[in-house]
Structure 1
Amino acid sequence: MGNRQNVMIKGTKDGFILKLNDQCGYDVLKEELIEKLSVQYKALDDDHVISAKIEAGNRFLTEEQSEELKEIVRSQKSLIVEEIHSNVITIDEADQLIREREMSSIAGIVRSGQVIEVEGDFLLVGDVNPGGMIMAGGNIYILGTLKGIAHAGCYGNDEAVIVASQMLPSQLRISKHLNRAPDLENNNEQETHEMECAYIDESEQIVVDRLQVLRHVRPSITKYKGGM
């Protein structure tokens, strides 16, 4: 009986989820997967392709095992594997996550033609001159004037933000979104030295606003648990 529960198949509106027991041996799991798929999908129309997602739980799958499971599912001509999800990551993946969550910082000026690129958050104590550029996988914080280009979330993070003591950029980029330099004519508000932030709003546009809105639009940006 326990053997029959090593693979559970659940139908959803988007296709099928194949839940794999993470407590049994891989060979036992593979045999049951082959058996259950051959029985369950024997009568399906080969011309109608259905997506399947594999959930491996706390089982680590090597690249070879992942490809083997995909091939087993693909052998049922009506199924295609869209994703394999596991709670276990490799050491390289863990190191990458750590780097993406780290804060890098520099005190100085980013000059014209200079490009600073980091994988996580970036703090600059200084200015970004016209022609200078900062690229960060996470958020960008500038304790100074931004006159050059800032690209936050450059690896595809739409939740990233850009903060500057004075926001006078030649260009703002967040993830794949781009915002050209604002029109500064007759805009005396730019002469104030109030810190500002840039983020992607619900309409998928980059907007620049007062820093105070940040805790409302990105409440997860701080880990402080006090009563602010």
Structure 2
Amino acid sequence: MKTKQNVVIKGTKDGLTLHLNDKCSYDALLEELKEKMDAVNDQENGSIISVTVQAGNRYLLDEDIEEITEIIRKRQNLVVEQVKSNLVTVEEATRWREESEIVSYTGRVRSGQIVEVPGHLLLIGDVNPGGTVRAGGNIFIMGKLRGMAHAGCYGDDAAVVVAGQMMPTQLRISRCLNRAPDRYEVEDALETECAYIDDSNQIVVDRLQVLKHLRPDISTFKGGSYSG
């Protein structure tokens, strides 16, 4: 009966992928990994090979990843590009949840005040001149935006800003910046609008109705509340 391999090496156009058995003991895995790496090193002496490690459902501590990486690095021609796993840490799961969550804030953001959330922000109130709202995702303002808003502040180019009255002193989405045009002087003529980055990498302010076509993935979020 053929024994299952703990390390399976597959060649790709980008180098090698090492598939690690996630059912065997860690010591058995390391022992076979050393043997396989010696064989690869002998066959490919002199040429640099990029290596991707796929750990499957095995949970690896930082020191485990470093130990596996070091075994591969000792072979002079092998370079570890990344170590992948099907599992996520508690910290990663918490961060993903925060970044996808919509946080509601009720009240006026006054001059000098800054409201920042890691995910999406729903503001039920106004942003006064001198006030600032920032979000890692989208910003929805059920009121007047007369201060500064920065959506996608961690680099999300797909983020949007929606406001009942769009009169910002400064508007930012990801790395793009736009100042308010003169047409925002007549407040009574304004309606709910949205701002987004277009194909030319510029911030565009348009009617709210275009949002469902531009960002069809925007839906109802489960959220909490913000206390600042």
The TM-score normalised by the length of structure 1 is 0.84
The number of residue pairs the alignment matches comes to 220
2:224 aligned residue: none
- The two structures, once aligned, show a CA RMSD in angstroms of 2.4
Equivalent residues of 1:184, 1:190 under 8 A apart: no
| Amino acid in structure 2 at the alignment position of 1:219 | P
* Paired-residue identity, %: 52
67-76 or 14-23, larger mean C-alpha shift = 14-23
Query: Which residue is 2:99 aligned to?
Result: 100
Give, in whole Å, the separation in 1 of the partners of 2:92 and 2:138: 20
The equivalences for 1:46-65 within 5 A come to 46=46, 49-65=48-64
Task: State whether residues 171 and 178 of structure 1, in contact with CA within 8 Å, keep that contact through their aligned partners in structure 2.
Answer: no
Alpha-carbon distance between aligned partners in 2 of 1:69 and 1:54, rounded to the nearest angstrom: 9
SS where residue 9 of structure 1 aligns? strand
> Is this contact kept in 1: 2:132–2:148, CA < 8 A?
yes
Q: Which stretch shows the higher mean deviation, 95-104 or 189-198?
A: 189-198
Residue identity in the other structure for 2:181:
D
Within a 5 Å distance, the mapping from 1:1-228 to structure 2 comes to 1-4=2-5, 6-44=6-44, 46=46, 49-175=48-174, 177-184=175-182, 192-222=189-219
User: Retained in 2: the 8 A contact 1:51–1:79?
Assistant: yes
> 2:203 & 2:153 partners in 1: Cα distance?
14
Partners of 2:23 and 2:72 in 1: CA distance: 21
The CA distance in 1 between the partners of 2:89 and 2:143, in whole Å, is: 39
Quick check: 199-208 or 113-122, which moved more?
199-208
In 2, the alpha carbon distance for the partners of 1:202 and 1:83 equals 32
Paired with 2:62 and 2:138, the residues of 1 have a C-alpha distance of: 32
Structure 1 segments (4+ residues) deviating >4 Å: 187-191
Alignment partner of 2:182: what SS? coil
1:179 partner amino acid? L
Structure 1 unaligned segments of length 5 or more: list them.
none
Q: CA deviation at 1:103?
A: 1.7
- What is the DSSP-based 3-state SS (H/G/I as helix, E as strand, rest coil) of the residue aligned with 1:215? helix
CA deviation after TM superposition for structure 1 residue 189, in Å:
8.9
Contact 1:57-1:85 within 8 A present in 2 as well: yes
Question: Could you state the TM-score of these two structures normalised by the residue count of structure 2?
Answer: 0.84
Q: Is the CA contact 2:178–2:203 (under 8 Å) kept in the aligned structure 1?
A: no
CA distance in 2, matches of 1:203, 1:31: 53
Using the alignment, how far apart are the partners of 2:10 and 2:189 within structure 1?
A: 58
Looking at structure 1, the residues matched to 92 and 18 of structure 2 have their Cα atoms a distance apart, in angstroms, of: 24
1:168 touches 1:181 (CA, 8 Å); kept in 2?
A: no
Higher relative contact order (CA 8 A, sep 6+): 2
1:80-100 deviation digits (Å, cap 9, x = unpaired): 222222121222222222222
